[in-house]
Structure 1
Amino acid sequence: MSTTHTHHHHPNFHPPNYKQPGAFDVLHPLRRWVNHIPVKNARFAHLICQVIPCCCPFERNINLFGRTFHIPALCKLNPLYDDFVGLRFRALSYLTDECGEDVTKYIC
């Protein structure tokens, strides 16, 4: 029995941090710098894991005048979000692979 899957394609939809190939990226030098920060010692790796949160710190519910308001996660709107998440991942990997440390305290 053959199953046919229908995929819905939305040609004009792009994730928030999507960059069209060949498009000018004014943040490219900053992205390149963040992506090339070496993680070579445990102290620096711990600092990165402490400074860059494992989940977006902005998403929360606020109670005001008896009503609850939800503030959505805004991290994906940060144009360097993926680069900082990558840096944090490299720090976690360094701590586990090179230092043999348990990093569960840094995982949400």
Structure 2
Amino acid sequence: MNVSRLHRSQIDLFLPIRQWLESIQIVDSGIARLVCQVIPARCPFERKIQLFNRTLLYIPPLCKLNPLYEQLVELRYKSLCYLADECGEDVTSYC
């Protein structure tokens, strides 16, 4: 079976959720702050285990395995932009 044909025939179960997340418009500063607090600025799973300044184990960021990763990052970005541009808030505390 052709790989490209297989890829096209797969059903994207996350498509409705992706579309819904992409369609969200941020118009409330309370919601924008909540989104910025809930969605982390960087992947919380990335770890570097060191002993005596030598790296024993490195765990790469696993967030990109999340099928909704791009949409969540975009939602966080929309929230940060709303707080900075529309509300005039300093967003450095969320970074």
Q: What SS is found at the alignment partner of 1:56?
A: coil
Q: Does 1:105 align with 2:93?
A: yes
Q: 1:85 aligns with which of 73, 82, 87?
A: 73
Q: Which residue of 2 aligns with 1:96?
A: 84
Identity value in percent: 51
State the superposition RMSD in angstroms. Answer: 2.1
Q: 2:40 aligns with which of 49, 53, 77?
A: 53
Deviation at 1:103, TM superposition (A): 0.5
Structure label with greater radius of gyration: 1
For 1:56 and 1:25, the matched residues in 2 are separated by 24
User: Cα deviations across residues 17-42 of structure 1 (Å, max 9, x unaligned)?
Assistant: xxx77864221101011112221111
| Higher normalized helix content (fraction of residues) | 2
Structure 1 unaligned residues grouped into runs of 5+: 1-19
Runs of 4+ in 1 over 3 A off after TM superposition: 20-24
Q: Does 1:39 align with 2:26?
A: yes
After TM superposition, the score normalised by the length of structure 1 is 0.70
Q: What SS is found at the alignment partner of 1:47?
A: helix
Aligned residue pairs, count: 86
